[in-house]
Chain A
Amino acid sequence: MLTYAIRRLLGAIPTLLIIITVAFFMMRVAPGGPFSLERPLPEQIMRNLNAIYNLDKPLITQYLLYLQNLVQGQMGPSFFYPGRTVEEIILSGLPASIQNGAVAIILALVVGTSVGSIAALKQNSRTDYGIMAGAMVGITIPNFVVAPVLSLIFGVYLGWLPTGRWDDGALVNRILPVIALALPQIAIVARLTRGSMVEVLRSNHIRTARAKGLPERIVLVRHAMKAAALPVVSYLGPATAAVLTGSVVIETIFGIPGVGRYFVQGALNRDYTLVMGTVVLFATFIVIFNLLVDLIYGLLDPKVRYD
């Protein structure tokens, strides 16, 4: 399995290279640049700026220079935040995003699978309809509505929790943003779990397990869970990559110094290096979590073998 993992990681390098290349050139196709402001800068200053950031060199040279630096672990200076490199910016925001995201994903996994299983067991009952209606609401209401409403109810009206404060990540300040992050994930995981669980509970081997006189608890946990978990695992791979790299809406509304907001800010500011940095970060997370999904599949399903 280790050799498989290493082979997969090596195989991811060309994928990353293609993503970086496409992102790099697409960003440059759009007219304008980091220094094209409403009031144009004097020509001499423009020339000097372009020279500092290598923007005066041919595009292909810039691309090769970027790759060369990236291999050495340097993502270059930010265009918009003077004096800060992109790796500094990302590393300063990443811990907060990862911490909140990890808790949200764990919540989604625990609550989502439990609630989904209950719905599957009580299929077509009131409990089932209630849970599924709740899940549908959780999926359809966008987070830019959920987050302010949570703030309003628990922060303003009830006054139980602070709104929009961070204070280096004090626990009370994390509760609302984590819930806002987790809600849609819980809803999706619950629906997926219910769907696959209903399917599995109908299968012949579950009938066999019941015919053996096993208690319902063992039928569920030992015989149904593994099979029912597979679609959830496939969903959670890319979802975890997305949640761990932060959410621009939630980080803005709750004032979290995370990395999510840079995805949008970088693009709006034409901060070429920062955009590239976020692209590399997200692509790497996706590659890693997809690999993890495949490895977990191998653990769950004996028919999947890596050699």
Chain B
Amino acid sequence: MTEVPEAAAVGPPPAAAAERPTVLAVDGLNTRFDTPEGEVCAVNDVSFRVREGETVGIVGESGSGKSQVFMSVMGLLAANGRATGSVKFRDQEILGMPPQKLNRIRGAHMSMIFQDPMTSLNPYLTVSRQMTEVLVQHKGMGESDAEKRSVEMLDLVRIPEAKRRIRMYPHEFSGGMRQRVMIAIALLCQPDMLIADEPTTALDVTVQAQILELMHDLKTELNTAIVLITHDLGVIAGLSDRVLVMYAGNIVERGAVREIFYGPQHPYTEGLLKSMPRLTGTEQTELPSIPGQPPNLQHLPSGCNFRPRCAYAFDRCRVEEPAQRDIGPGRAKACHLDAL
């Protein structure tokens, strides 16, 4: 599949996105897991680019492989996982890099925050220790300089009384505060790219909004590229420039955020959008949903993976797996239908 240059998006385009240098280039990424029941293919021939300063949303249901793409990128796959293909960070191949070399990149030039802030911080170490160690490791700072910088970073993510709180342990922080700490840790070395894997899923709604607002502000302040992995289209809409929709390990649709929201071209994307709760003007009481379950990755249906759940499915969908094809500038989909 080919990478489509980004241009002429609807509305105010992300300024000349195509000209911006590429931070991350993923080409033909496959991620497989050996399980006692056989091999599971979690990511299937996925290719995309992340450019400087842009925000890319990755959306899909649980098990769509969206997290595993970035676990592969970060070298964090479980022991039974294997990633093949190519992942280039700043033109340097990092897939299959030995951990010692990869450690010079992750945490420093690209960093990641995770879904569950309650367990993602080490409960046995002070916040200070968990922050300063990053600066000591990557920047060779001394403890006191590192702590000063860490306090500044906590201020930046709006943790009140950062000087005092940095001495505390994670259990003395609320969930939202812990996610702020995670963000602060991830941004300590001013990375080129921040991967946020469901950063707000475990938080309650008001805190979600605060974290998203924070990420929005940081994005403009620090010009860090952000990859936002989520199943929540609302989160994507507020922050992303571009969206990749994933289903059963494949990218099924991609495009600028407005195009995806106002003119979805893949039945799955359309289903996702329809099943978002709306607050305005419908008499409907029941929330529409996509019928059925995401497929078992070991027993994928013939033809198109989405076919058993697709309202538009026709004969060709049963026999032929749809290839990704360009449907406009920066737009592509993997579906046999010409128009929705």
Interface residues in chain A, defined as those with a beta carbon under 8 Å from any beta carbon in chain B: 123, 203-205, 207-216, 218, 222-223, 226-227, 300-303
Contact = CB atoms under 8 A, between A and B. Distances in A.
Contacts of B75: 210
7 contacts: A204-B120, A207-B114, A211-B74, A211-B107, A211-B112, A213-B103, A218-B137
Contact of A213 (B79, B121, B123, B137): B137
B133 A218 contact: yes
Contact of B121 (A208, A301, A303): A208
A204 B120 CA distance: 5
A40 B76 CA distance: 78
A302 B134 contact: no
B169 A205 contact: no
B171 interface: yes
B108 A207 contact: no
Given A212-B133, A214-B133, A302-B169, A222 B125 contact: yes
Contact of A214 (B123, B137, B182): B137
A265 B112 CA distance: 64
A218 B185 CA distance: 17
A301 B170 CA distance: 12
A212 B191 CA distance: 11
B120 A205 contact: yes
Nearest to B74: A211
The A contact surface, by secondary structure, is helix
B323 interface: no
A222 B103 contact: no
Interface in B14-41: none
A302 B123 contact: yes
Nearest to A210: B76
Contact of A207 (B76, B100, B126): B76
Given A223-B125, A302-B124, A302-B169, A213 B108 contact: yes
Given A212-B185, A222-B133, A303 B123 contact: yes
Interface in B110-138: 111-112, 114, 116, 119-126, 129, 133-134, 137-138
A148 B126 CA distance: 50
B288 interface: no
Given A212-B133, A303-B171, A203 B119 contact: yes
A301 B107 CA distance: 26
Nearest to A202: B78
B329 interface: no
B99 interface: yes
B333 to A, nearest CB: 32
A222 to B, nearest CB: 7
Contacts, number: 78
Q: Which of B102, B103, B111, B171 has the most CB of A within 10 A?
A: B103
A199 to B, nearest CB: 13
A286 B111 CA distance: 48
B122 A223 contact: yes
Q: Which of A208, A302, A303 has the most CB of B within 10 A?
A: A208
Contacts of A209: 122
B337 interface: no
B106 interface: yes
Contact of A303 (B99, B119, B122, B169): B169
A204 B111 contact: no
B107 A212 contact: yes
A123 B108 CA distance: 29
B103 A214 contact: yes
B104 interface: yes
A207 B116 CA distance: 12
A212 B76 contact: no
B124 A226 contact: yes
Contacts of B111: 211-212
B23 to A, nearest CB: 17
Q: Which of A204, A223, A303 has the most CB of B within 10 A?
A: A204
Contact of A211 (B106, B124, B126): B106
A193 B46 CA distance: 40
A301 B105 CA distance: 31
Nearest to A206: B122
B227 to A, nearest CB: 13
Contacts of B79: 123
A204 B133 contact: no
A40 B122 CA distance: 70
Contacts of B123: 205, 227, 301-303
Q: Which of A203, A214, A216 has the most CB of B within 10 A?
A: A214
B121 A214 contact: no
Given A205-B123, A226-B124, A300-B124, A212 B137 contact: yes
A213 B102 contact: yes
Contacts of A205: 119-123
A215 B114 contact: no
Nearest to B119: A204
